[in-house]
Amino acid sequence: MVAVVQAACVRQAAAVPRACAAARPAAKLRPRTCFTSPTPAAFQHLAAARTECQWACGTSRRPAAAASSEATTEEAVASPGDYCECHYTVSTEDGTVIDSSKASSSENEVKEIARFILGGGRVVAGFHQAVGGLAVGESRKHRVVPEDAYGERTGEMVVRIPKGQAPEGLEAGMVVGLTNGMQAVVTAVDEEAVTIDANHPLAGQALFFEVELTKRIPAAQLETATFGAGCFWSVELAFQRVPGVVQTAVGFSQGGTAATTYELVCTGSTGHNEVVQVVYDPSEVSYEQLLDAFWAKHDPTTLNRQGGDVGTQYRSGIYWHTEEQRRIAEASLAAQNERLGGNVVTEIEQVKNFSEAEEYHQRYLEKGGRNGQAQSAAKGCTDPIRCYG
């Protein structure tokens, strides 16, 4: 598995991305061309640019679960670690509506509400600020400074690329996908070079986020599970589709250090496994049902391998968070082993040294994968999963 785009792809889309990460901003962009590997050296410094300047909205960390807000307040309000759903309207300071979950009567598009764990990224910080402290049914209009929206505009995000290092056929207004997961707009093309701008179109603008909290699940009611079943891109999408799963994150665990990188893990020297960490509501989906999805997604009889992906980072593993999970996992493995003739090589261990993968890996297939063709993460979706996009 590699994190570079392998083929050029162009598609038609509108000019402004949605504010909510769950709404697949890449599907709302202007015509897009993906850069082929290798990435020109001039692009490399963009990988370290601020997350707010990327098209992926927000960070991807999930905070430690906070105590239930019912235990600390008389009124049940949204607190860090709670799962929240909200309707929203995002507008500029002059009142121009950038995005809204409430479709007008003339629109046929099905609008996405915002879904996220409060304080845990996945959407721009403005959502977290606006929703925090609300009770279900309450609304708030909150002004968000550029730093907490799409970042300040910066010259470091504008790069002039020698024309010989860029794909042919680029035109001003196209959106190009970079191999570090970012996207940029082609702003100028001349005889010598192509200029791209990786600033978000809304960078530098203060925005108003008007939200209505429609659902809240206290952090204390949520549980976490961690699984390794090969390349984490497709495994994450499989779990995203499971009803009752409220958030996922791809990353690495079981290695010798608490922090690592994708490049280091791919060397096979760190001991980490590619995993998906699943936050779920046990009142809607049981750990046993998550295990069913785990077994169905991969071949647990191949050691350190899933299909063409070979290496210890692709091993089959169940990494428990509680003793109850351990007992359930062991019983489930025994049943699978009997069914598969004693050939199951899945390891069961207590989760350790989990760290999230780089932002461009998160919800990779939902955002378009290698070829820019988004795959549905809708609950209950049974569409075949294209492992690399």
Domains annotated for the chain, with CATH where assigned, are: 1-217 (3.10.50.40), 222-361 (3.30.1060.10)
C-alpha pair distances (Å), 283 with each of 76, 236, 272: 19, 21, 31
Q: What is the pLDDT along the chain (389 residues), one digit of tens a residue?
A: 322 222 223 222 222 233 333 322 332 333 333 333 333 333 434 433 333 333 233 333 333 333 343 444 446 999 999 999 999 999 999 999 999 998 655 555 557 899 999 998 888 999 999 999 999 999 999 999 999 999 999 999 999 999 999 889 999 999 987 766 678 999 999 999 999 999 999 999 999 999 999 999 999 999 999 999 999 999 999 999 999 999 999 999 999 999 999 999 999 999 999 999 999 999 999 999 999 999 999 999 999 999 999 999 999 999 999 999 999 999 999 999 999 999 999 999 999 999 999 988 999 999 888 877 899 999 999 999 998 86
pTM of the model: 0.77
Q: How far, in Å, CA of 67 to CA of 291, rounded? A: 27
Q: What is the DSSP string of 175-238?
A: EEE-TTS-EEEEEEE-SSEEEEE-S-TTTT--EEEEEEEEEEE-GGG-EEEEEEESSHHHHHHH
Alpha carbon 123 to its chain's center: 10
pLDDT at 108: 57
Residue 299 burial class via C-beta count within 10 angstroms: exposed 0-12, middle 13-18, buried 19 and up:
middle
Instruction: Name the burial class of residue 56, with classes exposed (0-12), middle (13-18) and buried (19+) by CB atoms within 10 angstroms of its CB.
Output: buried
Tell me the pairing of strands 32-34 and 175-177: parallel
Q: Provide φ and ψ at 251, rounded to 5°.
A: -175, -155
Distance (Å, whole) CA 192 – CA 356: 40
Residues linked to residue 208 through DSSP beta bridges, in sequence order: 91, 143
The pLDDT value given to residue 105: 52
Per-residue pLDDT, 75: 62
CA 127 – CA 106 distance, rounded (Å) = 26
User: Is residue 9 flagged as an active site residue?
Assistant: no
User: Considering Cα of 26, then 239, then 245, then 250, what sign does the dihedral take?
Assistant: negative
DSSP string, 94-144: TS-EEEESS--TT--SPPPPEEEETTS-SS-HHHHHHHTTPPTT-EEEEEE
pLDDT attached to residue 110: 59
Residue matched to tokens 């791809």: 250
Give the torsion sign (CA, 247, 253, 254, 257).
negative
- Say whether 23 sits in a helix, a strand or coil: helix
Please give the DSSP secondary-structure letter assigned to residue 163: G
Which residue in 20, 34, 231, 387 is the catalytic one?
231
Residue 13 CB: number of other CB atoms within 10 A?
16
Distances (CA, A) of 8 to 129, 140, 141, 167, 371: 38, 43, 41, 8, 7
